[in-house]
Amino acid sequence: MSDQKDFQPSTLVIHSNRVYESQSNSILFPIHQTATYIHESVGVTKGYGYSRGANPTVNALEQAIAAVEGTTTALCFRSGMAAITTLCMGLLKAGDHVVLSDVIYGGTSRLFHQVIGNFGIEYSSVDTSNLEEVEQAIRPNTRLMFVETPANPNLRLSDVKALAEIAHSHENLLLAVDNTFLTPLLQNCLNLGADISMLSTTKYIDGHNATIGGSLATHNEAIIERLRLVRKTIGTIQAPMDSWLALQGIKTLPARLALHCSNATQIANWLEKQPQVEHVYYPGLDSFPQKALAEKQQKGFGGMLAFELHASTEDTLNFINALKLATCAESLGSVETLITHPATASHCDLTPEVRAKLGISDRLIRLSVGLEAPQDLIADFEQAFAAVFGAKA
Ligand SMILES: *Cc1c(COP(=O)(O)O)cnc(C)c1O
């Protein structure tokens, strides 16, 4: 379509990749499940040579993601971690230094602590919600700030615009933001000044727990070309079938996000009033210390929250086990409400001391609020409270 630029994101995610498929006019973009492409004569192709480099179905998802990111190009990867790994291999070399959010997805911290660090890349784990601490951590060889906001699992926020200003006041220092928890529709990191926006498309973009995938987007064409070369070389591109499934998911992203936000708000407000609940962490609550920052840089408060009960760690686990509708499973951002215990799941690689320092207590519960009716989820919490707290409640 020629006048795409005028459309809103909710229109673009549905129509940005419409093509007239010549054999049948199928309304869905086809799955190009192919490893290679025919040369009409030696060296003459339609732009596709081999699916480790590029694939039309992957490209269709990339266009849809670029549309929600508000840029022209995005790249899709085998997983969110493959996206971060490709980013590091593309932009960093031995001797470079990275400033990393200290509260961060467990896989990202493992990547730096156990893999990237072995290649001579230095890093500092920093409280990126504290701008002074960030300034102090920057060294002459710092080339990348990798920030997660809201952070997994305690929803701590970092000010993207302020961090971009700090990064850009130094030479050759790029800001990348892991925007998985909100997606660009609720927080446009590129507009806020970040150089690179990273998503685990496994979460809200797919939205249905059907695929594992990741994406990177930037306004900087030189970075895109570098990442494209590294992706082609190390083979981290997404598989066509996964892109096709995520393409179906992204069509309902705007509608799903609106419902995730309103359901999470209802659940957070309800939880906060329950006598069994000690604390709720949700950026939309008045009790959330960084609510003003959320209102400034986000267009919604998202579907993720965390809470602690007035209970021992053992009873916290008993509560999770007593739930029947909210499902204990890793991952987030899907239509199903998923509940996890970060200390034994996503953040189990950190020592108890480090977890305590970062505000990830052994009693912290992470909740990804899905699209079920909130009253059914509340009824589920009520029966689990009764099962654990019994007459005490
Ligand atoms: C899941 C997740 C990742 C990793 O993505 P995968 O698709 O699982 O590889 C990175 N960051 C955040 C915030 C995540 O939730």
Does the N-terminal peptide bond of residue 153 adopt cis geometry, omega within 30 degrees of 0? yes
Question: For the chain, what is the domain count?
Answer: 2
**Per DSSP, what are the bridge partners of residue 340?**
366
Whether pLDDT at 4 is above 70: no
Lateral strand order in the sheet of 277-281: 277-281, 304-309, 364-368, 338-340, 327-328
- Which pLDDT belongs to residue 1? 46
- Which pLDDT belongs to residue 73? 94
Tens of pLDDT, residues 184-198: 999 999 999 999 999
* Pair 296, 243 in one domain: no
pLDDT band at 391 (very low <50, low <70, confident <90, very high): low
**Per DSSP, what are the bridge partners of residue 76?**
215
Tens of pLDDT, residues 202-224: 999 999 999 999 999 999 999 99
- Distance CA(111)–CA(145), nearest Å, equals 15
CATH number at residue 198: 3.40.640.10
* Pair 324, 344 in one domain: yes
Tens of pLDDT, residues 255-277: 999 999 999 999 999 999 999 99
**Residue located nearest, by CA, to atom 4 of ligand 1:** 80
Which residue out of 200, 216, 331 has the highest number of ligand 1 atoms within 8 Å of its CB and is therefore the one to mutate? 200
With pLDDT > 90 as the criterion, what percentage of the chain qualifies? 88
Please indicate whether residue 281 is annotated as part of the active site.
no
- Which of 104-113, 204-213, 344-353 comes out lowest in average pLDDT? 344-353
For the purposes of burial, counting CB atoms within 10 Å of the CB of 34, is it exposed (0-12), middle (13-18) or buried (19 or more)? Answer: middle
- CB contact at 8 A, 154 and 364: yes
- CB contact at 8 A, 316 and 343: no
* Pair 177, 31 in one domain: yes
* Pair 271, 285 in one domain: yes
Expressed in angstroms and rounded, the spacing between residue 107 Cα and the centre of ligand 1 is: 7
Residue 263: which residues within 8 A CB-CB, separation 6 or more?
A: 303, 369, 370, 371, 372, 374, 377
The 3-class SS string of 159-181 reads CHHHHHHHHHCCCCCEEEEECCC
- Which pLDDT belongs to residue 357? 87
Whether pLDDT at 23 is above 90: no
Cα torsion at 209, 211, 212, 214 (round to 10°)?
Answer: -100
Among 250, 281, 305, the domain-final residue is 250
Question: Mapping DSSP to helix (H, G, I), strand (E, B) and coil, where does residue 58 land?
Answer: helix
**Residue located nearest, by CA, to atom 11 of ligand 1:** 105
Query: What is the domain extent for residue 154?
Result: 4-250
Q: Which of 96, 178, 195, 206 is catalytic?
A: 178
Please list every protein residue whose CB sits less than 6 Å from any atom of ligand 1: 79-81, 105, 107-108, 148, 152, 178, 180, 200, 202-203, 212, 214, 332
Among 250, 270, 288, the domain-final residue is 250
Cα atoms found within 13 Å of the Cα of residue 26, Cβ hemisphere only: 6
Among 217, 250, 283, the domain-final residue is 250
Q: What is the mean pLDDT of residues 353-377?
A: 94
Say what the pTM is: 0.96
